[in-house]
Amino acid sequence: MKRMRIEQPASLADAAALLAEHGSRALCVAGATDVIISWRKGELPEAAELLVDISGLKELRGIRESEGQIIIGSGTTHAEAESDPLLLSTVPFLCEAAASVGSPQIRNRGTIGGNIVTSAQCADTIPPLLVLDAEAVLVSAAGERTVALSDFLIGPKQTAIRPEEIMREIRFTRPPEGARGAFVKLIRREAVAKARISLALLAAADSAGKLTDCRFSPGSVTPQPQRFSEVERLLCSRVPDEQLIEEAAELTAAVMIRESGRRWSAPYKEPVLKTLTSRLLRRILMAEEA
Ligand SMILES: Cc1cc2nc3c(=O)[nH]c(=O)nc-3n(C[C@H](O)[C@H](O)[C@H](O)COP(=O)(O)OP(=O)(O)OC[C@H]3O[C@@H](n4cnc5c(N)ncnc54)[C@H](O)[C@@H]3O)c2cc1C
């Protein structure tokens, strides 16, 4: 394994100063569940020689609400997120996504920030955060900036984070009263399994049942996590019925094929994605049992 130096800064400002000084020769490490694997496989960035361990920084921990915004410190572990009372009462589907990550050991170490920055196509917390219109707050020695998660994810395993930046938190507006959200994940029958397909949905309807808001993000089916805006536009402003749900499920599978091409897994994923989508839409939009 390549030799690396490790620094444990005492504050976020110190961590940012180290990144500013060392640029692309330094790499943040939080729970290390992804970094260790890349290190072992010899896949750390070639220039990297210093790991800046941010796992002890209090400024990156905690989940709170402020002025209608729910704010999750990037260093929050999946285990903390899955049982957090504020998240459970406002966005339980995000807790379900966090609870579905890996094994208890991985959930106790792995963080929401690390999950987003790695931005694997199967990252479990990303689809729920995309349907929540989440934003990432990035800090560096030069200041801070806020980037919509949809703009932060710029390609397969590629994000807009700069070498000198640290994600401090992820934030989103509390969903409106009456909105219904859901997360489902299909895995192989193994103890620790990454998603083969996941779906996140957040929808709200008026008193006549017409959808006033509909946000939909399938995971693991496109090279990079994304919202399926064509499906959202098809559903929005309509009263869902069987025919609309079937159309939405067909369109979801068509968008997957267009975005990913007809890969070896398509004969399996196409019908399964259609079925999972129509089941989820029926359950959430027509309040049917799964
Ligand atoms: C056995 C196993 C099973 C897994 N199962 C799943 C699964 O089911 N679902 C799933 O989604 N993932 C899974 N993972 C992947 C991993 O556990 C998650 O992505 C985890 O959330 C990563 O967080 P971390 O804190 O360990 O990140 P780290 O490994 O510390 O860092 C990952 C990347 O993010 C960067 N980074 C971390 N925090 C910050 C920050 N605050 N600011 C800037 N950059 C930062 C690091 O520089 C690095 O590039 C699994 C991993 C393993 C080893």
Tens digits of residue pLDDT in 181-214: 999 999 876 656 677 899 999 999 999 999 999 9
For residue 287, the model assigns a pLDDT of 76
Size of the chain, expressed as the number of residues it contains? 290
Cβ of 73 less than 6 Å from ligand 1:
no
Element (H, E) at 5: strand 5-7
Q: Which residue, by CA, sits nearest to atom 9 of ligand 1?
A: 101
Ligand 1 centre and the CA of 109: distance in Å?
9
Q: Is the CB of 97 under 6 A from ligand 1?
A: no
Residues of the chain with pLDDT > 70: what percent?
97
DSSP per-residue letters across 152-216: HEEETTEES--TT-EEEEEEEEPPPTT-EEEEEEEE-SSSS--EEEEEEEEEEE-TTS-EEEEEE
The per-residue pLDDT for 192 is 64
Describe the chain by its helix, strand, coil percentages, rounded to 5.
40, 25, 35
Question: If you average pLDDT over residues 271-277, what whole number do you get?
Answer: 96
The amino acid occupying position 265 is S
> What would the two tokens of residue 19 be?
């990144």
If one residue of 118, 137, 185 were mutated to test the ligand 1 pocket, choosing by the most ligand atoms within 8 A of its CB, it would be 118
Counting from 1 in the atom list of ligand 1, the atom nearest the Cα of 166 is: 42
Share of the chain above pLDDT 90, in %: 90
Which SS3 state, helix, strand or coil, does residue 276 take? helix
Task: Report the separation in Å between the CA atom of 118 and the middle of ligand 1, taken as the mean of its atom positions.
Answer: 6
Question: 28 in ligand 1 pocket by Cβ < 6 Å?
Answer: yes
Give the global pTM: 0.95
Do 63 and 73 meet the contact criterion of CB atoms below 8 Å apart?
yes
The answer, yes or no, to whether any atom of ligand 1 lies below 6 A from the CB of 118, is yes
Query: What pLDDT is stored for residue 225 in this prediction?
Result: 93
**Nearest protein Cα to ligand 1, atom 53:** 33
Q: Atom 28 in ligand 1: which residue has the minimum CA distance?
A: 32
Work out the burial of residue 83: count CB atoms within 10 Å of its CB; fewer than 13 is exposed, 13-18 middle, 19 or more buried. exposed
Task: Note whether 150 and 126 are within 8 A (CB).
Answer: no
DSSP state of 140: E
Q: Determine whether the shortest distance from the Cβ of 187 to ligand 1 is under 6 A.
A: no
Q: From 60, 85, 77, 201, select the one nearest 136 (Cα to Cα).
A: 60
